[in-house]
């Protein structure tokens, strides 16, 4: 079953997620891909990554913060934020910070324990791509993005809070 | 009170549809227990000992007669004919069927009510003073700000999966009735340097396993910046609060482990970034929300009408009730009536469908069709004409609603305990009842005066035992239920946490132990001194000595 939703549609995944990398040798083992690498890998092997033929994205675990990449964000076409378990809510704050504080315009992808019932909130916080857990039905997940007609808050999806629109 | 517009209604309809679908998927086996858990909790639904329990939000305690009648209807059709008022201005039903819950929520939505975020690791119902808008000592009505916070916190996409539950209270009166300092965030409305009111904001208070008084994070926040200040606190907490141990996950632990100064600086750093964002409140929005809480059409009356003076002189029972349950109102000729739901033999806070209907009628006849629920589990008719108090008293008496024990020893705050709750270590309702039976003499109770007892059936402290003048905590001792007693707690302005007196007692010992504690107070009190004041003056030792004295 396809498991990537991007911009509200089922999409073909052109990225390879490097879950846990031990060393830079992996770069020669899978050359020429578009790689999503862990933050730590990017910090440790910046030089090796520079010579890599393929796009590089970074994924942050829920206990890592966006400010660790800070000014270099615009170099990455994709940032993935991990949900180790769906009830770990830290990546919601990271997504908003990426969009609102750092004005990040690339793809923000949810990875990990990504389930239908959380997608609406994720999309409001700035996620525009969802790498669904494999048992999730992608069509029903797309429908879940419209679970609510509107919301009260100022969010990435609707930067003007309802009280300024009423 | 606040009325929904098209947006509010639409969101509620969307929520009911969403939860109906989630329930269907759970019942069909498509959602695991673990996945359904936070979804049902954020709709107020627990799986309890005997049946599911659903907790319905009463935003900052306000209810209309129409809503009361709907709650009565739900008690009849989805429950066994009664409901339970909680210690956080909510109402619970103990007997609905899981598959009926979506219909129950649809019924509630018809009267602008819901069970959203009444449980789970999210921002809960915002609570306030039950006398907001009518209190004599009020700086500013807190309800408009509570409503603003309600909307901001409802379906907040960033803060739906916090490390742990999160409770906010707002206080606009001189005498704190909202237990503000023991909330995750406590907000006081205070005068600012220019005279314009704003907010003093505390964080990190809480009860539960580790009771803590909140600490100041913002000395003064101007009104437009309320929500950005709250959002900054929540963001720091969401990101940094502990998630490795649920008993250390509340914000109070984060504040303590980070140190309040460092925590405050982190919050202010976040706040500086978002302070003037679109979330900044507008004068228009504040005015819009305030307009929902305008005074009703009060008549021009005078205090202490002749009829009342006469009735008070003639009827000693009415006079006793008036003395305890009626408070001064900001308008001449009006009074605030608290219907004390602490009749002996009835679980504290329990209310039948008939009583709900009756109170709805009384609210319409005597109090502009509105009531409030207090965190002391009582019901308030806030705008009663003094000249109609005697009439109202008779009506209440006919429905066993005229308990004259408000604020007295038998006005016990009590969680549902082991009779209903799956978390409890011990029962709490029978303890309350045994104390009420022990202190059955009204004259004795009024002689004892203001002294409150709070009972929790476990460490989670839903009965707020830490802030009871006398706190009772159910504990499990090798499979048997025992009760630990603490003294000296208070949730008022000078909030304090009770200290444990000594070894725990068996259930049957409790009434006599409370009796001894009261005796020590009576022997030692100076003229006009309340229980808590005597305790503060003489300390724990005399109480301990008497209670644990070996009998010859």
Q: What is the mean pLDDT of each run of 10 residues along chain A (166 residues)?
A: 90 93 86 94 92 94 92 94 98 97 97 97 98 96 97 95 96
Between A81 and B440, the higher pLDDT residue: A81
Q: What is the pLDDT at residue B489?
A: 94
pLDDT bracket for residue B401 (50, 70, 90): very high
pLDDT bracket for residue B342 (50, 70, 90): confident
Residue B11 forms contact with A (CB below 8 Å): yes
Name which of B6, B159, B4 is nearest B67 in CA terms.
Answer: B4
Q: Are the Cβ atoms of A93 and B239 closer than 8 angstroms?
A: yes
Q: What is the pLDDT at residue A1?
A: 58
Residue B224 reports pLDDT greater than 60: yes
Residue of A nearest to B120 (CA): A87
Residue B256 reports pLDDT greater than 80: yes
* Four-way CATH pick for B134-290: 3.20.20.70, 3.40.50.720, 3.40.50.150, 3.30.413.10: 3.30.413.10
Q: Are the Cβ atoms of A149 and B10 closer than 8 angstroms?
A: yes
Residue B272 forms contact with A (CB below 8 Å): no
Residue B297 reports pLDDT greater than 90: yes
Q: What is the mean pLDDT of chain B?
A: 94
Mutation choice for B interface testing from A63, A124, A161, A165 by most B CBs within 10 A: A161
Crossing angle of helices B353-366 and B65-78, rounded to 10°: 170
Name which of B5, B289, B149, B278 is nearest A158 in CA terms.
Answer: B278
Residue B325 reports pLDDT greater than 80: yes
pTM of the model: 0.92
Residue B552 reports pLDDT greater than 60: no
**B254: Cβ–Cβ under 8 A, 6 or more apart, which residues?**
B204, B236, B237, B240, B241, B242, B263
Mean pLDDT of the region B46-68: 89
Q: Are the Cβ atoms of B151 and A162 closer than 8 angstroms?
A: yes
Q: What is the pLDDT at residue B495?
A: 82
Mean pLDDT of the region B266-291: 97
Residues from A in contact with B at Cβ < 8 Å: 65, 86-90, 92-93, 96, 100-101, 115, 117-118, 120-122, 124-125, 147-155, 159-164, 166
Q: CATH homologous superfamily of domain B413-547?
A: Sulfite Reductase Hemoprotein, domain 1 (3.30.413.10)
The answer to whether residues B416 and B429 touch, using CB atoms and an 8 Å cutoff, is yes
Residue of B nearest to A92 (CA): B158
Mean pLDDT of the region B197-219: 93
Residue B541 forms contact with A (CB below 8 Å): no
Residues of B with Cβ-Cβ distance to A83 under 8 angstroms: none
Mutation choice for B interface testing from A94, A115, A144, A154 by most B CBs within 10 A: A154
Mean pLDDT of the region B356-360: 97
Between B551 and B475, the higher pLDDT residue: B475
- Given this chain, do its domains B134-290 and B306-398 carry the same CATH topology? no
Residue B177 reports pLDDT greater than 90: no
Residue of A nearest to B150 (CA): A152
Q: What is the pLDDT at residue B50?
A: 62
Residue B225 forms contact with A (CB below 8 Å): no
Q: What is the pLDDT at residue B310?
A: 96
Report how far residue A27's alpha carbon sits from residue A41's, in angstroms, rounded to the nearest whole number: 11
Question: What is the architecture of the domain spanning B6-110?
Answer: Alpha-Beta Complex (3.90)
The domain limits of chain B are: 6-110, 134-290, 306-398, 413-547
The count of C-alpha atoms lying within 13 angstroms of the C-alpha of B537, restricted to the half-sphere facing its C-beta, is: 11
Mean pLDDT of the region B510-518: 96
Residues of B with Cβ-Cβ distance to A153 under 8 angstroms: 152, 155-157, 279
Residue B128 forms contact with A (CB below 8 Å): no
The domain limits of chain A are: 4-164
Mean pLDDT of the region B162-190: 94
Q: Are the Cβ atoms of A87 and B18 closer than 8 angstroms?
A: no
Q: Are the Cβ atoms of B18 and A147 closer than 8 angstroms?
A: yes
Q: What is the pLDDT at residue B179?
A: 87
Q: Are the Cβ atoms of B155 and A161 closer than 8 angstroms?
A: no
Residue of B nearest to A143 (CA): B18
Report how far residue B472's alpha carbon sits from residue B514's, in angstroms, rounded to the nearest whole number: 10
Q: Tell me the helix, strand and coil percentages in chain A, rounded to 5.
A: 35, 20, 50
Q: What is the three-class DSSP state of A93?
A: helix
Q: Are the Cβ atoms of A154 and B278 closer than 8 angstroms?
A: yes
Q: What is the pLDDT at residue B296?
A: 96
Q: What is the pLDDT at residue B210?
A: 82
**B264 exposed, middle or buried (CB, 10 Å; 0-12, 13-18, 19+)?**
buried
- Which residue is listed with tokens 């059955």? B440
Report how far residue B549's alpha carbon sits from residue B103's, in angstroms, rounded to the nearest whole number: 57
Q: What is the pLDDT at residue B95?
A: 87
Question: Which long-range contacts (C-beta less than 8 Å, at least 24 apart) are formed by A4-10?
Answer: A4/A129, A4/A130, A4/A131, A4/A132, A5/A119, A5/A129, A5/A130, A5/A132, A5/A138, A5/A141, A5/A142, A6/A107, A6/A109, A6/A128, A6/A129, A6/A130, A7/A128, A7/A129, A8/A142, A8/A145, A9/A142, A10/A138, A10/A139, A10/A142
- Which residue is listed with tokens 């913002």? B218
The answer to whether residues B137 and B173 touch, using CB atoms and an 8 Å cutoff, is yes
**B97: Cβ–Cβ under 8 A, 6 or more apart, which residues?**
B51, B52, B78
Helix (H) or strand (E) holding B331: none
How far is B18 from chain A, CA to nearest CA, in Å?
7
The answer to whether residues B51 and B94 touch, using CB atoms and an 8 Å cutoff, is yes
Q: Are the Cβ atoms of B11 and A92 closer than 8 angstroms?
A: no
Residue of B nearest to A122 (CA): B157
The answer to whether residues B171 and B60 touch, using CB atoms and an 8 Å cutoff, is no
**Residue A147 CA to chain centroid, in angstroms?**
21
Residues of B with Cβ-Cβ distance to A147 under 8 angstroms: 14, 18
Least confident range from B13-17, B85-89, B323-327: namely B85-89
Q: Are the Cβ atoms of B238 and A122 closer than 8 angstroms?
A: no
Q: What is the pLDDT at residue B49?
A: 65
Q: What is the pLDDT at residue B172?
A: 95
Residue B93 reports pLDDT greater than 90: yes
Residues of A with Cβ-Cβ distance to B278 under 8 angstroms: 154, 159-161, 164
Mean pLDDT of the region B330-338: 97
Residue B119 forms contact with A (CB below 8 Å): no
For the record, the structure tokens of A26 come out as 């992996």
Mean pLDDT of the region B410-423: 88
Facing B162 at nearest CB: one of A89, A100, A125: A89
Q: Which fold has domain A4-164?
A: TIM Barrel (3.20.20)
Facing B158 at nearest CB: one of A88, A125, A161: A125
Q: What is the pLDDT at residue B391?
A: 97
Report how far residue A78's alpha carbon sits from residue A6's, in angstroms, rounded to the nearest whole number: 12
Q: Are the Cβ atoms of A117 and B35 closer than 8 angstroms?
A: yes
The count of C-alpha atoms lying within 13 angstroms of the C-alpha of B179, restricted to the half-sphere facing its C-beta, is: 30
pLDDT bracket for residue B522 (50, 70, 90): very high
Residue B474 reports pLDDT greater than 60: yes
pLDDT bracket for residue B88 (50, 70, 90): confident
Q: Are the Cβ atoms of B285 and A153 closer than 8 angstroms?
A: no
Q: Are the Cβ atoms of B38 and A93 closer than 8 angstroms?
A: no
Mean pLDDT of the region B43-58: 86
Residue B71 reports pLDDT greater than 60: yes
Mean pLDDT of the region B291-301: 97
Q: What is the pLDDT at residue B11?
A: 97
Report how far residue B12's alpha carbon sits from residue B115's, in angstroms, rounded to the nearest whole number: 10
Report how far residue B4's alpha carbon sits from residue A141's, in angstroms, rounded to the nearest whole number: 30
Residue B155 forms contact with A (CB below 8 Å): yes
Mean pLDDT of the region B387-403: 94
Chain B 398-427, residues with CB within 8 Å of chain A CB atoms: none
- Pairs of residues, one from chain A and one from chain B, whose beta carbons lie less than 8 Å apart: 101
Residue B355 reports pLDDT greater than 70: yes
Mean pLDDT of the region B216-229: 98
Report how far residue A116's alpha carbon sits from residue A130's, in angstroms, rounded to the nearest whole number: 10
**B353: Cβ–Cβ under 8 A, 6 or more apart, which residues?**
B72, B73, B75, B76, B81, B82, B83
Residues of A with Cβ-Cβ distance to B38 under 8 angstroms: 87
Q: Furthest-apart CA pair in chain B: how many Å? A: 73
Q: What is the three-class DSSP state of B19?
A: helix
Residue of B nearest to A145 (CA): B18
The answer to whether residues B392 and B412 touch, using CB atoms and an 8 Å cutoff, is no
In chain B, the percentage of residues whose pLDDT exceeds 90 is: 85
In chain B, the percentage of residues whose pLDDT exceeds 70 is: 99
* Four-way CATH pick for B306-398: 2.70.180.20, 3.90.480.20, 3.40.50.300, 3.30.450.40: 3.90.480.20
The answer to whether residues B439 and B410 touch, using CB atoms and an 8 Å cutoff, is yes
């Amino acid at each position: 079953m396809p498991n990537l939703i991007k911009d509200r549609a089922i999409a073909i995944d052109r990225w390879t997620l490097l879950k846990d990398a031990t060393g830079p040798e992996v770069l020669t083992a899978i050359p020429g891909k578009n790689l999503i690498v862990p933050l730590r890998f990017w910090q440790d092997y910046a030089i090796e990554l520079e010579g890599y033929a393929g796009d590089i994205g970074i994924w942050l675990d829920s206990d890592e913060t966006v400010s660790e990449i800070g000014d270099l964000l615009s170099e990455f076409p994709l940032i993935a934020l991990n949900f180790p378990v769906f009830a770990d809510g830290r990546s919601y704050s990271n997504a908003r910070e990426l969009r609102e504080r750092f004005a990040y315009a690339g793809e923000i992808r949810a990875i990990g324990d990504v389930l239908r019932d959380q997608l609406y909130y994720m999309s409001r916080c700035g996620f525009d791509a969802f790498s669904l857990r494999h048992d999730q039905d992608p069509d029903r997940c797309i429908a879940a993005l419209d679970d609510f007609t509107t919301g009260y808050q100022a969010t990435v999806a609707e930067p003007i809070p309802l009280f300024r629109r009423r | 009170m606040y009325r929904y517009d098209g947006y509010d209604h639409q969101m509620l309809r969307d929520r009911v549809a969403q939860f109906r679908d989630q329930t269907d998927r759970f019942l069909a086996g498509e959602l695991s227990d673990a996945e359904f858990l936070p979804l049902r909790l954020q709709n107020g639904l627990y799986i309890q000992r005997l049946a599911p329990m659903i907790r319905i939000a009463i935003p900052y305690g306000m209810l209309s007669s129409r809503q009361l009648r709907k709650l009565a209807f739900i008690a009849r059709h989805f429950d066994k004919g009664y409901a339970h008022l909680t210690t956080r201005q909510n109402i619970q039903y103990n007997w609905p069927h899981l598959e009926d819950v979506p219909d129950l929520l649809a019924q509630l939505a018809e009267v602008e009510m819901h069970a959203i975020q009444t449980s789970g690791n999210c921002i809960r119902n915002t609570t306030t003073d039950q006398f907001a808008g009518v209190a004599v000592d009020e700086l500013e009505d807190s309800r408009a700000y509570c409503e603003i916070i309600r909307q901001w916190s409802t379906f907040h996409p960033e803060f739906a999966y916090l490390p742990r539950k999160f409770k906010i209270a707002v206080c606009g009166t001189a005498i704190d009735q909202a237990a503000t300092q023991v909330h995750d965030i406590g907000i006081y409305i205070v005068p600012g340097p220019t005279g314009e009111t704003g907010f003093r904001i505390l964080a990190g208070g809480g009860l539960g396993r580790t009771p803590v008084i909140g600490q100041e994070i913002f000395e003064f926040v101007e009104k437009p910046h309320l929500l950005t200040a709250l959002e900054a606190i929540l963001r720091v907490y969401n990101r940094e609060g502990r998630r490795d141990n649920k008993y250390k996950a509340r914000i109070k632990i984060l504040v303590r482990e980070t140190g309040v100064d460092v925590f405050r600086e982190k919050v202010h750093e976040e706040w500086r970034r978002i302070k003037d964002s679109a979330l900044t409140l507008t004068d228009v929005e504040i005015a819009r929300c305030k307009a929902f809480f305008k005074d009703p059409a009060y008549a021009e009356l005078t205090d202490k009408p002749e009829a009342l003076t006469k009735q008070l002189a003639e009827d000693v029972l009415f006079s006793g009730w008036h003395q305890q349950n009626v408070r001064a109102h900001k308008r001449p000729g009006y009074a605030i009536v608290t219907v004390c739901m602490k009749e002996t033999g009835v679980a504290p806070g329990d209310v039948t469908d008939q009583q709900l209907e009756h109170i709805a009628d009384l609210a319409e006849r005597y109090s502009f069709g509105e009531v409030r629920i207090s965190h002391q589990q009582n019901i308030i008719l806030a705008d009663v004409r003094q000249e109609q108090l005697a009439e109202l008293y008779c009506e209440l008496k006919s429905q066993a609603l005229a308990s004259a024990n408000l604020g007295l020893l038998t006005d016990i705050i009590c969680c549902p305990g082991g009779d209903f709750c799956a978390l409890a270590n011990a029962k709490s309702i029978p303890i309350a009842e045994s104390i009420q039976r022990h202190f059955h003499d009204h004259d004795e109770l009024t002689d004892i005066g203001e002294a409150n007892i709070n009972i929790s059936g476990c460490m989670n402290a839903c009965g707020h035992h830490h802030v009871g003048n006398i706190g009772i905590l159910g504990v499990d001792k090798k499979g048997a239920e025992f009760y630990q007693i603490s003294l000296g707690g208070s949730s008022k302005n000078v909030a304090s946490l009770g200290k444990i007196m000594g070894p725990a007692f068996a259930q049957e010992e409790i009434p006599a132990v409370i009796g001894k504690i009261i005796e020590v107070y009576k022997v030692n009190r100076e003229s006009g001194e309340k229980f808590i004041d005597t305790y503060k003056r003489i300390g724990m030792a005399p109480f301990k000595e008497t209670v644990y004295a070996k009998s010859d």
